[in-house]
Amino acid sequence: MNKTVLTSVSILALSMGGAAFAQSAPVDPLTPTAAPSTAADCPDGINNCSLVTQDGTNLNTSVTQSGSGNVSDVDQINGSVGTTGAAGVIVNQGGTNATSYVLQSGTGIAGFASEINVVQSGDSASSTVRQLNTRNAQIYVQQEGDNTSYLEQGSGLPQVGDGSDAAIRQFGGAGNTAVAFQQTGNSKIGNVNDQNIIGSNGITQDGEFNNSEVYQLAGGRSFEARTDQVGDRNDSVLIQRNIDDNDSMRARITQTGDDNDSSVVQSGINGASNANFAGQNANIVQSGSDNLSRVEQENFSTGALTSSLQVIQNEDGNDSFIDQRSGSGRVSITQTSTDTSGIVTGTVVDNAISGGTDSVRANFSRVAQSGTGRTEAMLTQTGFGNLSDIRQNAPGAAAGLASAATVEQDGEDQSSFIEQNGTNDVAFVDQIGGSGNFSRIQQLAGGLGNEARIDQDGIDGESTVEQSGTDNTANLLQGAMTSDNISFITQSGTGNMADVFQTSSSNTSFVNQSGTDGNVTVTQGPAVNSLR
């Protein structure tokens, strides 16, 4: 029997994780959960024990065990599986403390799946499923109760056939853990486009201290993975790594309720052979409670949109940390919180890229983008101690491939900093809904037609725009119920224009231009004004 589990895979999977996340958030993951151990022989004192070893053609095994403390071990090696249309292995265990181990190695023929189904319906059950060098590999595991599931497909061996599919469903208990490794052809854990939350779609965990880990690693081609977690102490890790420029990565994590956490890493060269193909795509939806999301994308292919990312965090603690390094990339973030119960704690703030601190809680986002093409970031924050920090760096981008950043903050202690280092960059900040606004836009690098605009509608607004280059444009508007506003715009270069509109309260404005064709318009309301 082949009892070997993955050992070197964690180094490969996590080799990118530390440096990129270090500036933003604590690194998670560190070490993948190990496979559950399985006895080579039947231990003394157990209820039922089944050991099956098969080789040859038309391999089919069905094991049904009732009662508690059962052990099932099925090995199918070097043969064809399920040629009658049945699954190659079916294991059904009832009762508590059940253990199931299934191995398929070198199995399968064209047109037929190497299929494994495991159902465990009691607490403290453990399932380990391994498919190595199999054809059309398929795994489905369902567990009810306080259980652990581990599946592995490929293990770095050449994949024969059409790829691998896997699904794990855990429900009705506490402390569940699901771990999946895939290193095969077209690896798939669920359908990221299917909107159903509960079902046999990827990894589904319903209730209590859930944990999910997915590793889709080099050796495969196209990767697709989905995790849905509903309720309680959720945690999710999803890592995809590949080097084939004609393939794709897609990831979706949905977390609903309680202490959510999410870490996604996508790396490789994906989508270069198709100019309109999003080679890497990640979608994270967190609804309710103490959300946190970390995403890293690294993709140096040259398609029109090689990486895309969407993070939606609705209600409670939020936080989002992103590092996107791509030929071209798009990021969309929505954060909402109306919590005043004390679950969300934090503040401190400062930063202004980056003089230190942050913390905040109830919103707070950081986006860092770099690439050789167009980079776009769109951020919407609604409620409480918002921050935001968007840094974009595409100095080598051709004309028309500028970086663009849009920030909308509605309500309470907004702050926003945008730094762009490219050519023809555009930045818009809209702070509405009141309270201690502060915003800063700095555009440097190649210059050439950069544009910046800030709208502040609130009480303690303060704005800064600094630009360097040709044809710069800056607009700054502080209005409505404003108070204590301060604004200064610094421009250097040819054809600059600056508009500052401040009405009411203690407005102050500083505009400094250097170069040709500068044009300044400042309008301030009837309160205490000064202009220099």
Report the domain count for the chain. Answer: 1
Residue 271: inside a domain, yes or no? no
Q: Binning pLDDT at 50, 70 and 90, where does residue 20 land?
A: very low
Q: Mean pLDDT across the chain, nearest whole number?
A: 75
Segments forming the whole domain that contains residue 488 = 337-532
* Two tokens, residue 193: 């486009």
pLDDT of 199 > 50? The answer is no
| Cβ atoms within 10 Å of 460's Cβ, excluding its own | 18
| Cβ atoms within 10 Å of 360's Cβ, excluding its own | 24
Q: Mean pLDDT throughout 160-188?
A: 79
Q: HSE of 143 in the Cβ direction (CA atoms, 13 Å)?
A: 32
Residue 204: inside a domain, yes or no? no
pLDDT of 106 > 70? The answer is yes
pLDDT of 19 > 80? The answer is no
Of 112 and 200, the structure prediction assigns the larger pLDDT to 112
Question: 131-135, 190-194, 368-372: lowest mean pLDDT where?
Answer: 190-194
Res 102: pLDDT: 92
Res 417: pLDDT: 84
Q: CA–CA separation, 494 vs 513, rounded Å?
A: 9
Residue 136: inside a domain, yes or no? no
Q: Binning pLDDT at 50, 70 and 90, where does residue 247 land?
A: low
* Two tokens, residue 7: 């050992």
Res 32: pLDDT: 61
Ranked by mean pLDDT, which of 101-105, 215-219, 325-329, 497-501 comes out on top? Answer: 101-105
Q: 195: which residues sit within 8 A by CB, 6+ positions away?
A: none
pLDDT of 92 > 90? The answer is yes
Contact 431, 416 (CB under 8 A): yes
DSSP secondary structure string for all residues of 265-308: EEEE--STT-TT--SEEEEEEEESSS--EEEEEEE---STT-EE
Q: Mean pLDDT throughout 115-139?
A: 87
Q: Mean pLDDT throughout 243-260?
A: 79
Q: Binning pLDDT at 50, 70 and 90, where does residue 202 land?
A: confident
Q: Is 9 helix (H, G, I), strand (E, B) or coil?
A: helix
pLDDT of 2 > 60? The answer is no
Residue 255: inside a domain, yes or no? no
Residue 170: inside a domain, yes or no? no
pLDDT of 30 > 50? The answer is no
Res 396: pLDDT: 60
pLDDT of 42 > 70? The answer is yes
Question: 73-77, 118-122, 134-138: lowest mean pLDDT where?
Answer: 134-138
Q: CA–CA separation, 256 vs 288, rounded Å?
A: 6
Residue 274: inside a domain, yes or no? no
User: Residue 7 — φ and ψ, nearest 5°?
Assistant: -125, -50
The dihedral built from the CA positions of residue 195, 196, 201 and 205, taken in this order, carries a sign that is positive
Of 423 and 68, the structure prediction assigns the larger pLDDT to 68
Res 176: pLDDT: 85
> pLDDT exceeding 70 applies to what percent of the chain?
73
Q: Binning pLDDT at 50, 70 and 90, where does residue 26 land?
A: very low
Q: What is the pLDDT of residues 411-439, one digit of tens each?
A: 777 888 888 887 778 889 888 877 778 88
Residue 514: inside a domain, yes or no? yes
Contact 179, 147 (CB under 8 A): no
Q: CA–CA separation, 397 vs 96, rounded Å?
A: 60
Of 474 and 101, the structure prediction assigns the larger pLDDT to 101
Of 433 and 161, the structure prediction assigns the larger pLDDT to 433
Q: What is the pLDDT of residues 453-469, one digit of tens each?
A: 888 877 887 888 888 87
Res 23: pLDDT: 33
Q: What is the pLDDT of residues 365-380, one digit of tens each?
A: 888 888 777 788 898 8
Q: What is the pLDDT of residues 290-333, one digit of tens each?
A: 788 888 888 766 555 578 888 898 887 777 888 888 777 888 99
Residue 415: inside a domain, yes or no? yes
Contact 290, 343 (CB under 8 A): yes
